[in-house]
Chain A
């Protein structure tokens, strides 16, 4: 078998074919009676990317009681600063503060 020749034959492929853009591909498919090709399997972007960046992602935490309270600005700023710096929920800041207070009282 003339193996070097065979290897050379397939080596003739110098540039891999670049497929048509999706719309052109779909046009070719549909005018020949084939279904239009599905879009590339790129990761699907989350539908509201901006919104999700501003909002915190919701996960089941067991925190299902609402608690509205008026605070002094410095207290509020401290709570927000803790939450933002450590990227934790506000509820967790309050929980940690509660735990700290509880430990303090127990140690007394």
Chain B
């Protein structure tokens, strides 16, 4: 069988940097694009498990939980059943994070505009790079600036961006601070399913989501921007 799922992990040993939000943005957007999405929630807080239990998620999104002991099996199962496998891990230096990186086609390292997020993010990126080196495969990865204030570009942000640039770490995207992203949790659904009268700025959030998946697709397949050469032959 030629089916191969894309395994995308959100990892940062720092908590509260936007991992679960990133996973939900991606899940909603990939589901909207017609993919079968499976989320593996390896965070003991089980925020995404509760999200799935409470709300009105699209049928094409499934969620399961995992620990360091079960995450391998969960990934193997999910890879066989879904098109996109999204892994959320706990915000600590834990064994499940290492295993998620070991299986990932791409690792997103979310960080808010804060030095601890970047510091721990850089430690996580060292792990990803070393893993890629040891396994002799490229593991595309990059920072994702999350919860970015939309209006002002602060000095703090410029400093941190310079630090990341200096370390030659790619930046996948910026995800702005928007009530629609928080509302995915409070309404327990995806961006597309949010009630438009109750949540403002959903269109801008959706545009962010599309930009994010476009950037990820391009990292997974750098030649994707060009017209496919094999299409005529196929």
Contact = CB atoms under 8 A, between A and B. Distances in A.
Contact of B131 (A6, A18, A20): A20
A12 B134 contact: no
B157 interface: no
A10 B217 contact: yes
B4 A13 contact: yes
| Chief secondary structure at chain A's binding surface | loop
B16 to A, nearest CB: 19
Q: Which 10 A-B pairs have the closest CB atoms?
A: A12-B221, A9-B217, A19-B102, A9-B224, A32-B127, A29-B98, A37-B95, A13-B4, A9-B221, A34-B93
B73 interface: yes
Contacts, number: 114
Given A10-B83, A34-B127, A41-B73, A28 B98 contact: yes
Contacts of B130: 28, 31-32
A40 to B, nearest CB: 5
Interface residues of B, number: 46
A7 B3 CA distance: 12
B50 interface: no
Interface stretch (B52-60, B64-72, B170-178): B64-72
Contacts of B102: 17, 19-20, 25, 37
B123 A5 contact: no
B187 interface: no
A11 B234 CA distance: 14
Nearest to B222: A12
A20 B72 CA distance: 12
Contacts of B97: 34
A16 B73 CA distance: 14
Interface in A50-102: none
Nearest to B32: A1
B118 interface: no
Given A9-B221, A20-B102, A38-B95, A29 B228 contact: no
B48 interface: no
B87 interface: no
B13 interface: yes
Contacts of A25: 98-99, 102
A14 interface: yes
Given A6-B213, A8-B228, A20-B134, A13 B6 contact: yes
B205 interface: no
Interface string B69-94: 11011000001000110000000011
A34 to B, nearest CB: 5
Given A1-B210, A6-B214, A17-B137, 17 more contacts: A7-B34, A11-B4, A12-B220, A12-B224, A16-B105, A17-B105, A19-B102, A20-B134, A25-B102, A27-B134, A28-B98, A32-B123, A32-B127, A32-B130, A33-B123, A36-B98, A37-B99
A3 B33 contact: yes
Contacts of A16: 4-5, 7, 79, 103, 105
